[in-house]
Structure 1
């Protein structure tokens, strides 16, 4: 149940962040807005780590560099998201982002990439992705 709540909260806040970032980028530029977003996110995350007195960051040297560099992907995500919102609007952007995430997740699950356990993907999961695609097509009209 907690996982569902966190996933819903993530989607909720991602949508608001997309709108806010697009508005910010109008005034200061897209890469500048991505920089500001990354920095303010860092400050908040650091404050939470310090408030919780969580010292697990000491294990960072044990994290493979590929995974430790994940924050760099966030800069690309932010830039892509802001640019898409400007060109297509929030609804279509989020819909297409979700489809891209689902397709990528299906591939990662079926292949077991990035140290994830392999999972069988059945017809119902493929149908779910197809319905998402159909839904975005309907939204586009």
Structure 2
């Protein structure tokens, strides 16, 4: 696929996050349990992925999975933490502030991952313009919060 398609898909997935948060929040209210709503979100997502893998006949390297570093398994825990916090924060902070903070956190950590070449990120040194970009994102979050 061309880079343009990946840019579009990344934007689309970002656009889906507040929608997912709203839907998961509704499920949390219906279940009267935000953690249960997060679990249901993962179960439905897992079933969807299983269906997709079977439908597209994708192969899985079980031998490769066995050799994955232990830390690779924590991705699911981070996902569970993220979804649960979003379900809890979304109705309290609102979509704009919640996802402004999410994006600010993502930008800060992404710069550090790239700078220090962590987790297979391509090395990209931090420079003034990148720091300025993150500061502008944080300024945007502050503006959203104040107004």
TM-score range, shorter chain: over 0.9
Normalised by the length of structure 2, the TM-score is 0.89
In structure 1, stretches of 5+ residues that fail to align are none
Secondary structure class of the residue paired with 1:56: coil
In 1, Cα distance between equivalents of 2:61 and 2:18 = 29
Structure ranking higher in helix proportion: 1
Taking a change above 3 Å as real, the CA distance of residues 94 and 77 of structure 1, as seen in their structure-2 partners, is same
Taking a change above 3 Å as real, the CA distance of residues 34 and 57 of structure 1, as seen in their structure-2 partners, is farther
Aligned to 2:47: 43
Taking a change above 3 Å as real, the CA distance of residues 57 and 72 of structure 1, as seen in their structure-2 partners, is farther
In structure 2, stretches of 5+ residues that fail to align are none
What count of residue pairs does the alignment treat as equivalent?
141
How big is the shift at 1:5? 1.1
Structure 1 residue ranges (4+ consecutive) displaced by more than 6 angstroms after TM superposition: none
Aligned to 1:14: 17
In 1, Cα distance between equivalents of 2:108 and 2:87 = 21
In 2, Cα distance between equivalents of 1:123 and 1:16 = 34
Taking a change above 3 Å as real, the CA distance of residues 114 and 39 of structure 1, as seen in their structure-2 partners, is same
How big is the shift at 1:79? 0.9
Q: Map residues 17-36 of structure 1 onto 2, 5 A cutoff.
A: 17-28=20-31, 29-36=33-40
RMSD: 1.3
